[in-house]
Chains A and B, each alone.
Chain A
Amino acid sequence: MAAASVASQAQAVLRARLCDPGFVHSALRSSPDTNYSKLKYLVASSISEACNNSVLLLGPRGCGKAAVVDMVLEDLKKEHPDAISVIRLNGMLHSDDNCATKEIARQLCLEHQLSFSKMASSDDNTEFIIDMLRECGLAHKTILFILEEFDLFAQGKQRLLYSLLDAMQSLTSQAVVIGLSCRLDADQLLEKRVRSRFSHRKLLFVPSSLDDIKRLVEHLLIMAKDSSLPAKYITDYNSRLTNIFSDKKFKGILNSLMDADATTSNILRFLFRTVSYMDMESGFLSMESFLNALSAMQRQPKMDSLQDLSILELYILVCMHRLEDKEQSSYNFTSIMKEYRSIQDAYKTSDKYASTVCFRAFEHLLDRELISFGDIRGRNQALEYRPVKLLISSRELAQSLKLNTTCPAVLQKLFDRERYM
C-alpha cells in the first residue's frame, strides 16, 4: 500500500508539473539571450523610461509564446508592483470592435475597482478607455495590452488596432502593446496606417532542437531531492530515468516525435501520457511506458477506420476504386450500384444485396468520412445522384484489404485485377 501511495503521489506531482506552463518554461529564466530576456528588457525599459512600445511575438503553436509573456509579467509584477496594469484580449473572442472595447473597459474597471455597467454603449466605453489611458499616463502607470491571436484582430477594418496604436502616440499615455500570433506574417496583414504606427519589433519563436528537448525532458521528469517523497525512492527513480535517457531507443523515440512535431506542446502531451502509464506498483517510469505512449500517439485514424468496415462497405469502396481506375471523372451512387451489379453477375458471390441495404452502407461510409460528396450543396439533388469521391488513397485501400482477415478472396482479386485491365 505504501508503494502505491508513493507512486500515486509521484504521479500527481509529475502531472501537475506538466500541466503548469510556468514550471515548464522556467528553465528559460536562467539562460541568457532568449526571447524571454529580450522581451523582459523591452518591457522593463519602456516602464522605467515611461515610453510607448509595441512588439510582436510570432511562432508556431505550442512554442511557448504565451508562457514567456506570463513569466515576464510575473517578474515585472514583483519588481514594479504598482506600476503596471494588464489588459488581456483574445482574437478568437474579441475580434469584434464593440466586444473588444467592452472587454477592455471591463478589465480596466476590475483593476481599478470601479463598477462596470454592462449597458454602457460602445462610445461610452471608448471614451472611458481614452480617459483611463490619460489618467494612467499622468500617474506614471503603464498599461500592458496583450493581444493573443493577433492575426484575428487584423481582419476587417482593424479599428481596434488603429485606435490602440493611435492612442499610444500621444505624449500623455504610457502603454505597451504585445501581440502574439501563430502566423509568421502577421505584420504583413496590417493596414498601412496601422503599420506606420507600429514599431517593427518582432520576436521569433522556433520549435526546439533535439538538445533543448532533452534538457526540457530532464527538467520535467527528474525530481528534486527536497520534495515530499521519500529520499530513497527519489534516488532510485532518478537513476532509472537517467539510464533510460542514455538508452539508444530513447533517442529513437525522441527523434520520431520530433520528425512529426517538435513543438513543446507535443512533447508535453507525450510526457503526460508516459506519466499516466507509469507502473503504479513500483512507481517508476520504464522504457515500456515511453514506448506505449509513443504508439498511442502515432495512430493512423483512416487505417483504423478501414479496419472497422463490414464486407459490404468494402465492396462499395472497391467498386469506387474500379470506377476511378476506369477514368470516370465523376460518379455517383447509381453508377456505383451498376458496377456492383456487374461484379455480382460476373462472379456470382454470395454478397449480393438490395439497393436499400447498399445505400445504408454508403451512408455509413459518408459518416466515417472515407468518402465525401464532390459538389457543394448547390443543387437540391437526391443523395443517390450527387457525385462522390474517395478520400483514401489506393495504397491505403490495398493495405487494409490485406490486413482484413475476413475479407473474401474475390475482393482482393477484384482490386488487383484492375491493374491489368
Chain B
Amino acid sequence: MSQPVTPRRTTRSSAGSASDPASPTPQSKSMPKSTLRRQLIPAAAAAAKDEEEEGENDRSTVDLLLEALPGRRAQASDLLRLLAPAPALPLLLYGGAATGKTRALLLALRHIRPRPHRVAYAALRSLPSPRALFASLLSQLSPPPSSSSASSRQRVNDKPSDFVAALRDALAGLCTQGDAVYLVFDNLEVVKSWDKGTQLIGLILRLHDLLRLPQVVLVYVSSATPDAYYSMTGSIEPNHIYFPDYTVDEVRVILMRGHPNPKLYSSFLSVALKPLFRVTRRVDELGAALEPLFRRYCEPLGDSKVVLDESIKRRLFEHIQPHLAVAMNETFSVPTRASVDQCNDTGGKASTKRQFGNRDSLTELEFHMSVSAKYLLLSAFLASRNPATLDAALFDSTGGSDNHKRKRKSSQASMNMKDTMVEEMLMKGPGTFPLERLLAIFQCITSVSEDSLDDVESSANMMNGSGMTGLMSDVLLQLSTLCNSNFISKSRSCPLEGSARYRSNVDQDLALKVSTL
C-alpha cells in the first residue's frame, strides 16, 4: 500500500509564493517538499534585510499571512501573538497530516516583528539518527568555516551532554546582540521510533529549561497529539496550537488557487470533490486523485474554448461519472498501456459501460506472469490457506469426490466449531508451509492441468513428453523470483526441522485474477 504519486500541480506553497515577491519560484514536481521549506527558512531571515523599508503595520501582516493560508485565521493570529516578541515560552503546533502546520509556521516567522535573527530548522523526518540531528542544528547555528571541514567532522558529537554544551555555546554567541533565535523541530513524532527515542524526546522538550537563554524560542511541530509526549516523570508543557483539518469549502479554495481555468475547474470540483471527500480529507491525496479525473473531464471539450452553460456541464458530468466511480475505489493508479488505449478508441461508450458495470468483477492482471509462475503462486496460496491435513482430501488423484461418505447433517456444535475456525483463519492470516509441501501441491495441480493442455499443445509434439518437466523446470528459480517480488515471503528456518518455511502474501482477489488464465 504505497503513497500516491503526486503529479505536477500548483502546490499550495508555489501558489502562495506567487503573491510574495521575495519567494523562490515554483518548483517542479521532482523537488521534494523539504527543499521547498529549506528555501523558505533562509528567506525568513533574509527577508529581514530585504524588506526593511516596508512600513507595514500590524493589520496588513495578519492579512498577508491569511492570504497565503486559507482557512487558518485563528491559527495564524495565535501564531503571530505567541511567537513574538522574545522571550516566549515554547510552542507546540499539532494537527493531522497535510494541514499546513509547517507552512503556517514558516510564513509566520517571516512576518513577525521584530525579525528573528536566525531560524534553525531541524527536519526530523529526513534525519536518520540523533547524531545527524545534532550535527544539522549546530551547523545551522554556527556554520563551520569551509576550510576546516575535516576537523569539524571529528567534532560531531553523539552524547546529549556534549550537544547541549555545544548548543549553549553557539546560541550564546548568537544572542549577544539581543535578537531572537528560533529553533524549529519539525515532525517530532518521528523521534519516538528512533533508538532511545523517548529519552531524546524528553531532552528536546526540556531544552528550554536546560538552556536558560531568554532570547531562544523553541517551536515544535508534530502530527501526534500532545498526550503522546506525556512521559512518566512529566515534563514542562509547551503552549499548544491546534490545526484542524480543512473543511470541504476550504479544500475547494485551496485547490482552486492559481488554476489556469477557474470556471471549468470549479464546475468540475462541484461534481467530483464531495464524493471523494467522503473517502479521505487529506488535501494531498485529494489533489492526486483529482488530477487525472480533471483531464478526463476536459476530454469532450477538446481544445475549443467553450462557454460553459448548463447543457455542456451536464454532458461533462455524464462523461465523468463512471470514471469517478472507478476512481473512488483506487488509491494509486498507474496508467498502463491498455487503459490508455481503451480511452482513446472510438468505442468509448462500450468500454466505459463495461467499466461501470463490472466495478466489482475481476479485471485482468496488470502485469505479466509466466504460466509456471502462476501455478506456483496458486499452489503457494492453497498451501497457505488450507491446513496440511486437508491435502489428502483436496488433491486426491481420483478427483476427491469418491468417498461416498454420507453427508451428515451438521450439528450445532460442529457449526460453531466451523465458525470459530473461520474466525481463527481470519485472525491468524496465511500459514507457513515447507518447500516439500509446495512442490507436492504444484505437481498435483500441473498434472491435472496437463490433460487439459494436451489439445492445445498438439502442435508442439516434442514438448508433450516432457510437458510436465517443462512446467517443473526452474521451479526454484521461479520461487526465488516470487520471493523477491514479495508474493511469497520466506521465514527463518525452524531450528528443529532445519528447512526454510514459506508464507504466501497474496490475497484472494489477486489469486482469483491469477487463476483466470
> Hey, which bits of chain A sit against chain B, CB under 8 A?
4, 8, 11-12, 15-16, 18-20, 60-62, 66, 90, 92-94, 96, 99, 103, 151, 182-183, 265-266, 268-269, 272-273, 276-277, 280, 296-297, 299, 301-302, 304-305, 307-312, 328, 330-332, 334-335, 338, 351, 353-357, 359-361, 363-364, 367-369, 380-385, 387
Shortest Cβ gap from B275 to chain A (Å): 9
Shortest Cβ gap from A391 to chain B (Å): 10
Q: Is B256 an interface residue (CB 8 A)?
A: no
| B228 in contact with A369 (CB, 8 Å) | yes
Q: Mark B214-249, 1 if CB is under 8 A from A, else 0.
A: 100000000111111000011111011010110000
- C-alpha spacing A12/B84, complex, angstroms: 9
Cβ contacts under 8 Å, A12 to chain B: 85
Shortest Cβ gap from B37 to chain A (Å): 20
Cβ contacts under 8 Å, A4 to chain B: 58
A305 and B87 in contact, given A61-B235, A353-B279 (Cβ under 8 angstroms)? no
| A335 in contact with B426 (CB, 8 Å) | yes
Q: Is B282 an interface residue (CB 8 A)?
A: yes
Q: Mark B78-101, 1 if CB is under 8 A from A, else 0.
A: 100110010111000010110000
Q: Is B427 an interface residue (CB 8 A)?
A: yes
Q: Is B278 an interface residue (CB 8 A)?
A: yes
| A334 in contact with B426 (CB, 8 Å) | yes
| B427 in contact with A354 (CB, 8 Å) | no
- Which 9 A-B pairs rank lowest in CB-CB distance, beginning with the nearest? A385-B429, A301-B225, A308-B245, A93-B161, A19-B87, A354-B329, A311-B278, A276-B81, A61-B234
A301 and B94 in contact, given A354-B330, A360-B331 (Cβ under 8 angstroms)? yes
Cβ contacts under 8 Å, A382 to chain B: 429, 505
Shortest Cβ gap from B430 to chain A (Å): 8
Cβ contacts under 8 Å, A276 to chain B: 81-82
Cβ contacts under 8 Å, A296 to chain B: 78, 240
Residue of B nearest to A102 (CB): B161
| A265 in contact with B206 (CB, 8 Å) | no
Cβ contacts under 8 Å, B97 to chain A: 364, 367
Cβ contacts under 8 Å, B427 to chain A: 330-332, 334-335, 385, 387
Chain B interface bracket (under 10, 10 to 19, 20 to 34, 35 or more): 35 or more
Shortest Cβ gap from B60 to chain A (Å): 14
- C-alpha spacing A354/B428, complex, angstroms: 22
Cβ contacts under 8 Å, B94 to chain A: 301
- C-alpha spacing A186/B331, complex, angstroms: 54
| B429 in contact with A308 (CB, 8 Å) | no
| B244 in contact with A304 (CB, 8 Å) | yes
Contact of B227 among A11, A99, A268, A301 (CB under 8 A): A301
- C-alpha spacing A345/B94, complex, angstroms: 38
Contact of B277 among A151, A182, A310, A332 (CB under 8 A): A310
Q: Is B281 an interface residue (CB 8 A)?
A: yes
Cβ contacts under 8 Å, B89 to chain A: 18-19, 268-269, 272
| B88 in contact with A269 (CB, 8 Å) | no
- C-alpha spacing A99/B173, complex, angstroms: 24
Contact of A182 among B87, B88, B234, B428 (CB under 8 A): B234
Residue of B nearest to A277 (CB): B81
Contacts beyond the supplied A381-B429, A387-B427: 18 A-B pairs with Cβ under 8 Å: A15-B85, A19-B214, A61-B234, A92-B199, A92-B202, A92-B203, A92-B206, A99-B161, A269-B237, A301-B226, A308-B96, A310-B278, A312-B280, A334-B426, A360-B285, A361-B279, A385-B427, A385-B430
Cβ contacts under 8 Å, B236 to chain A: 61-62, 265
A103 and B161 in contact, given A61-B235, A357-B330, A384-B429 (Cβ under 8 angstroms)? yes
Contact of B210 among A61, A90, A310, A383 (CB under 8 A): A90
Q: Is B345 an interface residue (CB 8 A)?
A: no
Q: Is B1 an interface residue (CB 8 A)?
A: yes
Residue pairs across A and B with Cβ atoms less than 8 A apart, 8 shown, are A16-B87, A16-B214, A265-B237, A296-B240, A307-B244, A354-B329, A357-B330, A382-B429
A94 and B161 in contact, given A273-B239, A356-B330 (Cβ under 8 angstroms)? yes
- C-alpha spacing A280/B80, complex, angstroms: 13
Residue of B nearest to A299 (CB): B242
| B428 in contact with A385 (CB, 8 Å) | yes
- C-alpha spacing A357/B507, complex, angstroms: 15
| B224 in contact with A353 (CB, 8 Å) | no
Q: Is B159 an interface residue (CB 8 A)?
A: yes
Residue of B nearest to A301 (CB): B225
| B160 in contact with A92 (CB, 8 Å) | yes
- Which residues of B (347-400) have their CB < 8 Å from a CB of A? none
- The interface centre, meaning the residue of B97, B224, B234 with most chain A CB atoms within 10 A of its CB, is B234
Cβ contacts under 8 Å, B240 to chain A: 296-297, 299
- C-alpha spacing A96/B158, complex, angstroms: 13
Residue of A nearest to B236 (CB): A265
- The interface centre, meaning the residue of B164, B426, B428 with most chain A CB atoms within 10 A of its CB, is B426
| A302 in contact with B225 (CB, 8 Å) | yes
| B159 in contact with A99 (CB, 8 Å) | yes
| A361 in contact with B280 (CB, 8 Å) | yes
Q: Is B342 an interface residue (CB 8 A)?
A: no
Contact of B429 among A60, A305, A334 (CB under 8 A): A334
Cβ contacts under 8 Å, A269 to chain B: 89, 237, 239
Cβ contacts under 8 Å, A90 to chain B: 210
Contact of B331 among A18, A304, A338, A357 (CB under 8 A): A357
- C-alpha spacing A309/B96, complex, angstroms: 10
- C-alpha spacing A182/B89, complex, angstroms: 21
- Which residues of B (249-293) have their CB < 8 Å from a CB of A? 277-282, 285
- C-alpha spacing A381/B278, complex, angstroms: 30
| A369 in contact with B280 (CB, 8 Å) | no
Shortest Cβ gap from A86 to chain B (Å): 14
Shortest Cβ gap from B67 to chain A (Å): 21
- C-alpha spacing A123/B430, complex, angstroms: 58
| B82 in contact with A369 (CB, 8 Å) | no
| A356 in contact with B331 (CB, 8 Å) | yes
Shortest Cβ gap from B213 to chain A (Å): 11
Cβ contacts under 8 Å, A299 to chain B: 240, 242
Cβ contacts under 8 Å, B455 to chain A: none
